[in-house]
């Protein structure tokens, strides 16, 4: 037990140290280049919104103001950092390093709950030293905070799917919905998890069918309650009940138009200047309709784009301009090839426990489908690697056990004992 505790703290401290070192190195690099962020664009928007929140100003950005451009989950975290540490991007990056390390801890917690301590340690080690996780976890982007929320949701759902107490299953289901709703405020695409998690409960829940249906309803109700204050605020501003954001239209059009490549290029927003001629709600609807019209008029190209986006989402190495190629990309290919083998092995070992496979692989498959419609990038896959690493750890433990059994069996052959 003491040895296991020592390994736990060693891995966790290594995870934190690696992220802190990379955060400092990135800060030095971007400062030398005269920039603020390593990955510009989304980071600038999040940072500006966070400064507005910290100063008590309107939660809006750009001119004319866009009040529902982003859900507030991630800017609130950055605003807390600004309130405590000032307008220091490095301090915020170090906060993200702590959150990323917290996600490693949650990975261990979930793996231990589903399997055992040994699997938990391996899962935590995999995400602690994953090269892209280390670099991604310290960016001023929502993925790290979303990873943390995602794992909290999976832990809560695991409790409901395993052995819920005779009394309190309704409370647990409602809490699942609340946690899901709060995580949607970090990443709107997580909204689909309400349906998928409800389906997992209906199919695999260890209670009567009537209670499973009620649990699914409570999950949906909890999510609605969590999102209601944000939707109410948006109604007061726009006159429309918006439970996520008004950026889904441009995001959809980004991946579905004549010049789309599967990668993101939002230059059309500034070039067309639609938001200066329409309300935020109407501009969002305008781009959404144009994307739908394109998909209907060009079904073959839409399918081609879906596969291109899937390829970017599944890519084993960085696919953003300026970050791909080189020795690091070769290492990433080797890393993800090995990880994929272990994930497949773990999933095959669990073929008679599909509830675990659904819980751990479901988010990954959900976002694969989402990003076959919207633009694709390895960046959007990284949060889903935390639960997938538990499958990989289970596969690694299984392979190790079979190797040991085979070694022992070969060592006891009659020819060797003669």
Task: Give the pLDDT band of residue 412 (cuts 50, 70, 90).
Answer: low
pLDDT at 405: 76
What average pLDDT does this structure show over 339-361?
Answer: 95
Query: How far, in Å, CA of 122 to CA of 100, rounded?
Result: 17
Q: Give burial (CB, 10 Å; 0-12/13-18/19+) of 167.
A: exposed
b/e per residue, 325-342, with b = 16+ CB within 10 A? eeeebeebeebbeebeeb
Average pLDDT, the chain: 93
Is residue 212 scored above 70 in pLDDT?
yes
Reported confidence tier of residue 259, pLDDT bands at 50, 70, 90: very high
Residue 414 has pLDDT above 70, yes or no: no
Least confident of 36-40, 243-247, 318-322: 318-322
Q: Count other Cβ atoms within 10 Å, centred on residue 276.
A: 10
The pLDDT assigned to 1 comes to 64
pLDDT at 131 over 60: yes
Q: Residue 402's pLDDT band (boundaries 50, 70, 90)?
A: confident
Instruction: Round to whole Å and give the CA distance between 34 and 16.
Output: 27
Q: Tokens 């300026």 sit at which residue?
A: 322
Has residue 418 got a pLDDT over 50? Answer: no
Cite the DSSP H helix spans in 239-353. Answer: 248-255, 267-272, 280-297, 299-314, 326-349
- Alpha-carbon separation of residue 10 from 3, 4, 5, 259 (angstroms): 11, 10, 9, 49
Q: What angle do CA 274, 278, 282 make, to 5 degrees?
A: 100
pLDDT at 46: 96
CA distances from 294 to 253, 270, 359 (A): 9, 20, 35
The tens digit of pLDDT for each residue in 263-307 reads: 998 999 989 999 999 999 999 999 999 999 999 999 999 999 999
The residue with greater pLDDT, 328 or 345, is: 345
Q: If you ran DSSP here, which 8-state letter would residue 207 be given? A: S
Cα radius of gyration (the chain) = 23
Q: What is the pLDDT of residues 57-69, one digit of tens each?
A: 999 999 899 999 9
| Residue 16: pLDDT over 50 | yes
> Which token pair is 417?
């004992």
Q: Distance of CA 279 to CAs 65, 91, 388, Å?
A: 10, 36, 41
Classify the phi-psi angles of 322: left when phi > 0, otherwise alpha if psi is within -120 to 50, otherwise beta.
Answer: left
| Alpha-carbon dihedral sign for residues 168, 169, 172, 178 | negative
- What's the confidence (pLDDT) of residue 390? 98
Question: Looking at residue 417, what is its pLDDT?
Answer: 35
At residue 165, does pLDDT exceed 70? no
| pLDDT tier for residue 319 given thresholds of 50, 70 and 90 | confident
Q: CB within 8 A of 4, min separation 6: which ones?
A: 117, 121
For residues 273 and 62, what is the distance between their CA atoms, to the nearest angstrom? 12
Cα–Cα distance, 211 to 195 (Å, whole number): 16
């Amino acid at each position: 037990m003491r040895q296991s505790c020592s390994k736990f703290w060693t891995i966790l401290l290594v995870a934190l140290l690696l992220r802190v070192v990379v955060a400092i190195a990135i800060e030095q690099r971007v400062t030398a280049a005269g920039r603020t962020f390593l990955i510009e664009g989304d980071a600038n928007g999040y940072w500006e919104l966070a400064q507005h929140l910290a100063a008590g100003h309107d939660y809006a950005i750009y001119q004319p103001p866009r009040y529902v451009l982003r859900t507030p989950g991630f800017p609130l975290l950055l605003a807390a950092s600004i309130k405590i540490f000032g307008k220091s991007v490095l301090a915020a990056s170090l906060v993200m390093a702590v959150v990323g390390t917290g996600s490693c801890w949650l990975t261990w917690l979930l793996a231990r709950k589903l399997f055992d301590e040994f699997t938990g340690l391996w899962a935590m080690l995999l995400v602690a030293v994953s090269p892209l996780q280390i670099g991604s976890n310290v960016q001023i982007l929502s993925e790290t905070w979303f990873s943390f929320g995602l794992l909290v949701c999976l832990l809560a759902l695991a409790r409901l799917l395993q052995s819920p107490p005779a009394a309190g299953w309704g409370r647990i289901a409602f809490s699942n919905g609340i946690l899901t709703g709060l995580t949607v405020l970090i990443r709107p695409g997580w909204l689909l998890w309400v349906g998928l998690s409800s389906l997992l409960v209906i199919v695999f829940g260890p209670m009567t069918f009537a209670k499973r249906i009620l649990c699914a309803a409570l999950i949906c109700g909890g999510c609605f309650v969590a999102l209601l204050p944000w939707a109410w605020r948006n109604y007061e501003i726009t006159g429309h009940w918006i439970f996520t954001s008004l950026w889904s239209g441009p995001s959809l059009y980004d991946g579905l138009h004549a010049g789309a490549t599967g990668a993101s290029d939002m230059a059309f927003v500034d070039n067309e200047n639609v938001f200066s001629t329409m309300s935020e709600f109407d501009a969002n609807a305008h781009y959404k309709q144009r994307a739908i019209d394109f998909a209907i008029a060009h079904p073959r190209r839409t399918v081609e784009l879906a596969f291109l986006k899937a390829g970017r989402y599944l890519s084993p190495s960085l696919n953003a301009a300026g970050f791909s190629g080189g020795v690091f990309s070769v290492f990433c290919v080797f890393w993800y090839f090995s990880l994929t083998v272990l994930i497949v092995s773990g999933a095959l070992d669990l073929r008679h426990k599909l509830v675990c496979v659904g819980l751990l692989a479901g988010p990954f498959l959900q976002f694969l489908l989402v990003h076959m419609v919207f633009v694709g990038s390895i960046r959007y896959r990284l949060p889903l690697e935390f639960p997938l690493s538990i499958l990989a750890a289970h596969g690694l433990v299984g392979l190790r056990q079979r190797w040991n059994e085979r070694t022992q069996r070969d060592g006891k052959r009659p020819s060797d004992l003669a």
